[in-house]
Structure 1
Amino acid sequence: MSLSDRPLVHPDRKVSGFRPFKAFHHFSKLVKDKEDTEQVFHIIDALKTRKSVRQMEEFLATDEAKILLERDEELPKLLDDHARWSQCPPNSLARHYIDFMEREQLTAAGLVAESYKFKPKEERLPDLYEWYIERLRDTHDLFHVLTGYGRDPLGEMCLLGFSYEQNHSPGVLFITLMAARQNKKESGLKEPVDAAVREGRRLGREAQKIAHSDLLSMMSEDIGDVRTRLNIGTPVAYRRCFDLYREINPQYGTLEERLALAA
């Protein structure tokens, strides 16, 4: 079925639910293994609301969304084709993305596979809502690159705060707040952690919606120009808190070594 033939929301789809005990159960698994990304999808599903549907409908009414739907691009496949982007300028979004993914040993397809552990492909409903939530999923690592938040626990937590303000998923906010609580308990850095999370949420509110943007058309552009266009600010409080983390855990290395942040 082509995208143009899909309904907005399939009649069999349940688009809201409030199962806090299920969310806590899967968060406890995520605490035990921070790389167990499957648990994130369970938490988001356990606390979903109709707000994401309303946001999708508003987005689909825009010219930008209509162009993306017409292209019907397989975003993970295109993002994982690093050869496609290898000739882009050194400071381009594409080159920063390639460096990030190769350094962290990640693939866009890998995140898709994690989401299929939560719900297999054959069980997914053919509607535009599925296309929309997959786009939110598939742009996650581009969020990392554009915002400057790393994959360290603090960076992931701040990025989730940023993402919540962009996409308003209660499950994402739940993970952000619970992760901050756990992080403060483990590090003893109460106010620096709170400041970094508050900043992440503020930057998310102020920025243009990244997942709604035609990111593939920006891949060859200078990353600084893309950040300016999307109004993505610099995470100063995160960097300060990260330096405090290094004092506690010197093995973290410098922020530049871990994240290769653009100047």
Structure 2
Amino acid sequence: MSAIDRPLHHPDRTLTGFQPVKAITHFRKLIANKEDTEQVFHIIEALKGRKSARQAARFVQSPEGQALLREDRDLPAMLDNHANWADMAEHSVAQHYVRFMKREGLTAQGLVEESYKWLSKDDRPSDLYEWYFERLRDMHDLFHVLSGYGRDALGELCLLGFSYAQNHNRGVLFIAYAGARQLKKDSGSAAPVFAAVREGQRLGAAAAKLAHQDVEQLLALPLEEAREQLGIGEPVLYRQCLETFRAEGLSTQDPGNLPAQTQQECCPA
């Protein structure tokens, strides 16, 4: 079924409300076993609420959303075909994205496969909500490039703050601040970790909705022009934290001891 032909709301989809008790239960399990990263997905699902779903519905029914649905691009395949972007200018978003993905050893398809470890594609309702949430997932690493946040522990937490302001999933915000608390506790650093996550929220709130953009057009722009056009500010406090970590002799990659999935949250819906 093509994207434009999907129903908005599949009968099998349950739009759960805010479930804080459930989230705390799964968070305790995550703290007890940091390798049990499935708990992250349960926390996000428990705290998702309905605001992100309302945003998804508004977008897919808008002229911009309808245009993207008609094009029905396979974003992971497009993003992973680096040969398509070989002729782009050195400072284009595309070239920055390709360098980022190669440096980090990542693929967009790898993110898709990681997200299906918790709930397979066949078990997910095929509707326009899912199309929108998949789009958020598929653009996660492009969010990194556009926002300026790295894949270090704090960079991932700040990007979750940024993503929450963009997509209104309170589970994402919970993970961001729970992770910040853990990082602060384990590292003992004087770096303004919580302020950096709050800065991510402010930057995300001030920026245009990244997932609502035409990705192919965005990739062709010079990175700084794209950031200016989208209203993405500089992550000043995040960079200040990294400098503090270095001065304290801490690893900038993981100055604390965060669960791996907290650092690599791949399903920001």
- TM-score (normalizing by structure 1): 0.89
Distance change >3 Å, CA 94–CA 38, structure 1 → 2: farther
Residue 195 (structure 1) shift = 1.7
Residue 26 (structure 1) shift = 5.7
Residue 22 (structure 1) shift = 4.4
Residue 87 (structure 1) shift = 1.3
**Is the 1:193–1:241 contact (alpha carbons within 8 Å) kept by the matching residues of 2?**
yes
1:24 corresponds in structure 2 to 27
Cα-to-partner distance string for 1:66-86 (whole Å, 9 max, x where unaligned) = 111000111011100111111
The residue type equivalent to 1:32 in the other structure is K
SS, match of residue 43 in structure 2? helix
Rounded Cα–Cα distance in structure 1 between residues aligned with 2:246 and 2:252: 6
Rounded Cα–Cα distance in structure 1 between residues aligned with 2:39 and 2:114: 9
Rounded Cα–Cα distance in structure 2 between residues aligned with 1:216 and 1:2: 19
Rounded Cα–Cα distance in structure 2 between residues aligned with 1:154 and 1:251: 11
1:205 corresponds in structure 2 to 205
1:163 corresponds in structure 2 to 163
Residue 250 (structure 1) shift = 5.6
Q: Structure 2: give runs of 5+ residues left out of the alignment.
A: 254-269
List aligned pairs for 1:144-223, cutoff 5 A. Answer: 144-189=144-189, 192-223=192-223
2:125 corresponds in structure 1 to 125
2:114 corresponds in structure 1 to 114
1:96 corresponds in structure 2 to 96
Distance change >3 Å, CA 151–CA 38, structure 1 → 2: farther
Rounded Cα–Cα distance in structure 1 between residues aligned with 2:74 and 2:123: 19
Distance change >3 Å, CA 45–CA 214, structure 1 → 2: same
Rounded Cα–Cα distance in structure 2 between residues aligned with 1:138 and 1:22: 29
Rounded Cα–Cα distance in structure 1 between residues aligned with 2:170 and 2:225: 31
Rounded Cα–Cα distance in structure 1 between residues aligned with 2:25 and 2:185: 23
Cα-to-partner distance string for 1:172-222 (whole Å, 9 max, x where unaligned) = 011011011101112223561122111111001100011111122121210
Fraction of identical pairs, as percent: 54
Residue 43 (structure 1) shift = 2.4
Residue 9 (structure 1) shift = 1.0
1:261 corresponds in structure 2 to none
- Which is further off, 133-142 or 191-200? 191-200
Distance change >3 Å, CA 74–CA 227, structure 1 → 2: same
Distance change >3 Å, CA 152–CA 238, structure 1 → 2: same
1:61 matched to 2:64? no
Q: Which has the higher contact order (CA 8 A, sep 6+)?
A: 2
Residue 249 (structure 1) shift = 3.3
Rounded Cα–Cα distance in structure 2 between residues aligned with 1:247 and 1:191: 10
Q: Structure 1: give runs of 5+ residues left out of the alignment.
A: 254-263
SS, match of residue 220 in structure 2? coil
2:82 corresponds in structure 1 to 82
**Is the 2:27–2:40 contact (alpha carbons within 8 Å) kept by the matching residues of 1?**
no
**Is the 2:27–2:39 contact (alpha carbons within 8 Å) kept by the matching residues of 1?**
no
How many residues end up aligned between the 2 structures? 250
RMSD: 1.9
Cα-to-partner distance string for 1:27-70 (whole Å, 9 max, x where unaligned) = 437x835xx86554332122221111111121123221111100
**Is the 2:190–2:244 contact (alpha carbons within 8 Å) kept by the matching residues of 1?**
no
Rounded Cα–Cα distance in structure 1 between residues aligned with 2:40 and 2:249: 26
1:260 corresponds in structure 2 to none
SS, match of residue 118 in structure 1? coil
